[in-house]
Chain A
Amino acid sequence: MEKASRTILAVAGVDKTFEGATRPALDRISFSVEPGEFFSILGPSGSGKTTLLRMIAGFERPDVGRIIMDGEDITDVPPFRRDVRTVFQSYALFPHMSVLENVAYPLRMAGARKSERLAKARECLELVSMGDFAQRLPHQLSGGQRQRVALARAIVCRPRILLLDEPLGALDLRLRQQMQHMLVSLQKDLDIAFIYVTHDQGEALSMSDRVAVMSEGRISQLGTPREIYFDPSSEFVAQFVGRSNLLPIECVDRNGAITALLEGKPLSGIAAPRTGPARMAIRFECVRLDAPDRPADGACSIDGTVKDVLFLGNALEVNVRCGGLNIIAAVPAASEERFTPGKQVRVLFDANNATVFHG
């Protein structure tokens, strides 16, 4: 029982296939969330992440499997009796109620007295710095303000689990970054478990304690942001999280040791489990560029020609043509070196930054 009390939410073997769909929306999903954890579900659209969130909220029923909250099976509990709140992607603010009434609504449903619920709602609005907007109606607010009201409404009852469905999706970049900081500090202050659904890997990596990467209704990988980023367990994760070169390699047996060949050239230090064709993922920022005559110093290297350069402000993305391959390197924009198309360069990367996948 000790383990159960350490888990606030457990999803156990959940399957879901929608009527008329050919493949399942959720396929044998199992994971658990600890109290006060910031847990993200990351995946492209159509990967089933929103379905999963709606199932935890109680808006969908699993075909198979259970949802267990704090040791109690809530699979058949209707949404309005679950101690789970949701921040909806569309915010779903009630258009006919003022900001204050919106935030007080869950307290009203819980039967709180009017004076008490208004006081608590005001307090909560202060928490998201929306205290000055209490009497406005939702359509008089900007997107970022609506977002914060939706957040206030979801946390006013202090649920043990807060679900967030791409809450920052409709905001512009600057606002998104501000909101990320706010969410993280709010989560620490309130000590509520956040389950955060997003397709934006930046959001997932920056805020979460753990991330579940979903693809086609399954969890591809579950781990800390660091593990997901530096040790992707599949080609899909490597491609989806961060920006990676995916290079075809050939693994051959040479004198009893398996050696990886890139464009026929052996790569020192790359460990491959078996022979045959494979693909190697290497992140843009793990690729270095140097003059062609410099020594490789034990790193893997391949020579090529600069095709084009993107200026990204903090970095340059340099596309290098190496034989039949394109390798992209992200190098600091402030570096002395000038990369102009046509320039001969040497592409370098360390073997421990590369991950090999056998198709």
Chain B
Amino acid sequence: MMGWPVYAWFVALVLVPNLLLVGASFLRTRSGRIVFEPTVASYARLWDSHSFQYLLLKTLGTSFGAALLGCLIAYPMAYYAARVVRGNRSILVLLVIIPLWISLLMRVFAWRMILGQSGILNTFLVTTGILAEPSEAFLYTGFSVLLTYTYISIPYAFISIFTALEKIPHSLVEASQDSGASGWRTFRHVIWPLSRPSVAIGFSLAFLMTVGDYITPSMVGGIDGTMIGMVIASQFGIANNWPYGSAIAVCLLVSVGVVLALVMWFGQSKGVLTGDEGAQPASSGPQTQGGRLLRMLANIAFAIPYLFLYAPLAIMVLMSFNESKVQAFPLQGMTLQWYRELGENAAMLDAVQRSLIVGFLVVLVSTVAAIGFAFAIHYGRVKQARFFEFALAIPVAIPGVVLGIVMVLATQLVQIPSGVARIVIGQSSFVMPVILMIILARLRRLDAALLEASMDSGANHWQSFVHVLFPSIRGAVIGGALLGFTLSADEVMVTLFLSGTAPTLPVWVWNQMRFGFTPSVNAIFTLVGVGSLLAIIICNRLVFRSQARRAEA
């Protein structure tokens, strides 16, 4: 195993594309064509544009607010799941993560159904007499974008905070109580400082996911909810001014970088957690009447965010069986008509087939690369391994819309036409690092003596890989591959730029939705959701079974 494929991947899929973006932002266009004349015209135009500055601030502010709200909602949830609940903890966690696997389009679309003028919320308010007539205040406003962004943020914030809270040894809490600190002061002086770095990470993840999102604002935002991602996308679409779009993207990247640096600075905490044991909730004494009531209230409070996460999805599934074309309660009767329509739609079946092919290729390329890179990095074949591990993951941290145009620029440069090939390259750029991280984490937990023991027993490198190393990371590889597949199958923001006339399923759905609504969309999303769920369950089973087998041995 050599280091050069790692360097090559970095140069081809990270370094050159991003340099192209910066380069393109210094060019100009003349009658719709890019002219190779260095200029700062695009930046000068941005500098003078108050509407751009306002839009940038609004975008950053909305994403920031949503990530903040997401953390505020997720923190108590994570605290409850990690440190209060006993048993069934993994189910509580899984329930928060599942929405991440369900297409972003679907989740946003569900919100449109709820907030719209003839939507669920209005129907409810009018029939109960709270409002005299349907309000237009819910959809196509800044508020609807903020609400949907918050909805998107919660799972990211939750995962990060939960992992941190679960890792804090219970003995530290006891030591604090033993030192005379009450519950609240223990939280303030011990739990919060120890979980703050992870809150910052969860916040950053959520922020990144929404700040480059042009899907959500264009679906639920309307004029008031326009965000900068939409402007960038339009420069590469209708407006056809790549240098200007690139310049906006560079500005967005820089400001996102500044915001994240500030967040990380706020989140930093001294010291290294060396505790070996995890959280073990204290055994409770005999319950008093008041304690039981309090616990019940806590359980109810804990359930509300789950309702928030699942209600939109449930409504969508329900509507997919609804006979009426109007998305409102009461339901008009049960039908499978929308599913039947899907089966007759050749264009859609085409898109499904393309999605599967793309997903398969992306997973193949990414998994093979990730396994090789993980070994090269872990076993010291890469110089500056820490830097490259971080550098390869950069595409994950680039807002979707920016990554989309970056990959357009890169594939355009080497004359790869739009379509499957472009999509595979673009998606692999962010799927590979995810799988790489999963495999590396597994490798690092592995007993370092395993490889030595295998070679000591007379196996060469290749034999050691086949018989010892690969079997011990198989669970991580399969889990990573399945995660990669769902990431690929749901992707819209990057794919939309790369697909040209060959849409994958989400892109096809997105195009359909812009032309008008058909309840068939509900049916597709229900199927996609069920498919994603099945993938998670299978993935979970596989990982669980390999763990169980290891435990048995």
Contact = CB atoms under 8 A, between A and B. Distances in A.
Contacts of A19: 283
Nearest to A76: B285
B189 interface: yes
Given A61-B285, A96-B194, A80 B180 contact: yes
Interface string B158-199: 000000000001011011111111100110011001100000
B10 to A, nearest CB: 32
Given A79-B177, A79-B178, A96-B193, A90 B272 contact: no
B511 interface: no
Nearest to B186: A80
A92 B174 contact: yes
A80 B189 contact: no
B285 A95 contact: no
Interface string A83-124: 011101110111111100000011011100000000000000
B282 interface: yes
Contacts of A57: 174, 178
A85 B176 CA distance: 10
Contact of A109 (B171, B179, B271, B283): B179
A63 B176 CA distance: 25
Contact of A59 (B179, B186, B282): B282
B238 interface: no
A137 B194 CA distance: 14
A167 interface: no
B274 interface: yes
A85 B178 contact: yes
A92 B272 contact: no
B269 interface: yes
Contacts of A93: 175
Nearest to B276: A90
B437 to A, nearest CB: 24
B264 to A, nearest CB: 16
Contacts of A138: 271, 274
Given A80-B178, A95-B272, A153-B179, A18 B194 contact: no
Contacts of A108: 189
Contacts of B171: 88-90, 92
A153 B172 CA distance: 13
B449 interface: no
B50 interface: no
Contacts of A88: 171, 174-175
A60 interface: yes
Interface in B265-314: 269-277, 282-283, 285-286
Contacts of B174: 57, 59, 79, 86, 88, 92
A298 interface: no
A208 B70 CA distance: 55
A109 B172 contact: no
A94 B175 contact: yes
A160 to B, nearest CB: 14
Contacts of B270: 95-98, 137
A79 B177 CA distance: 6
Given A90-B171, A92-B171, A92-B175, A106 B271 contact: no
Interface string A138-181: 11000000000000011001000000000000000000000000
A234 to B, nearest CB: 30
B176 A105 contact: yes
A78 interface: yes
B274 A139 contact: yes
A154 B179 CA distance: 7
Contacts of B189: 94, 105, 108
Contacts, number: 96
A168 to B, nearest CB: 17
B177 A78 contact: yes
A138 B175 CA distance: 14
Nearest to B174: A59
A154 B190 CA distance: 17
A296 B233 CA distance: 104
Nearest to A89: B171
Given A92-B169, A94-B190, A110 B272 contact: no
A96 B179 contact: no
Nearest to B284: A61
Interface in A42-70: 57-61, 63
A106 B180 CA distance: 6
Contact of A137 (B182, B193, B272): B272
Contacts of B272: 95, 137, 139
Contacts of B271: 94-97, 137-139
Contact of A60 (B190, B269, B273, B283): B283
Contacts of B182: 78, 80
A106 B182 CA distance: 11
A109 B182 CA distance: 9
A109 to B, nearest CB: 4
Given A90-B169, A92-B171, A109 B180 contact: yes
B446 to A, nearest CB: 23
Interface string A193-219: 000000000000000000000000000
Nearest to A138: B271
Contacts of A97: 270-271
Nearest to A106: B179
Contacts of B190: 94
Contacts of A139: 271-272, 274
Nearest to B171: A92
Contacts of A89: 171
A92 B283 contact: no
B82 to A, nearest CB: 17
A108 B274 CA distance: 24
Contacts of B169: 90, 92
B165 to A, nearest CB: 14
A169 to B, nearest CB: 13
Nearest to A51: B283
Give the most central of B169, B180, B270, B277: most A CB within 10 Å. Answer: B180
A176 B286 CA distance: 40
A60 B270 CA distance: 31
Interface in A125-139: 137-139
B53 to A, nearest CB: 39
Q: Of residues B176, B178, B286, which shows the largest number of chain A Cβ atoms within 10 Å of its Cβ?
A: B178
Nearest to B274: A139
Contacts of B282: 59
A191 B6 CA distance: 64
Contacts of B175: 86, 88, 92-94, 153
A228 to B, nearest CB: 29
A183 to B, nearest CB: 18
A86 B276 CA distance: 19
A220 to B, nearest CB: 25
Contacts of B283: 18-19, 60
Contacts of B194: 95-96
A44 to B, nearest CB: 21
B180 A94 contact: no
A18 B284 CA distance: 10
14 contacts: A57-B174, A58-B177, A61-B285, A63-B286, A78-B177, A80-B176, A80-B178, A88-B171, A88-B174, A92-B172, A92-B174, A92-B275, A95-B272, A105-B181
Interface of B: 169, 171-172, 174-182, 185-186, 189-190, 193-194, 269-277, 282-283, 285-286
Interface of A: 18-19, 57-61, 63, 78-81, 84-86, 88-90, 92-98, 105-106, 108-110, 137-139, 153-154, 157
Closest 6 CB pairs of A and B: A61-B285, A92-B175, A95-B271, A106-B179, A109-B180, A92-B171
Given A57-B178, A58-B177, 16 more contacts: A18-B283, A59-B282, A61-B285, A80-B179, A80-B186, A81-B180, A88-B175, A90-B169, A94-B175, A95-B172, A96-B270, A97-B270, A105-B179, A105-B189, A106-B179, A153-B179
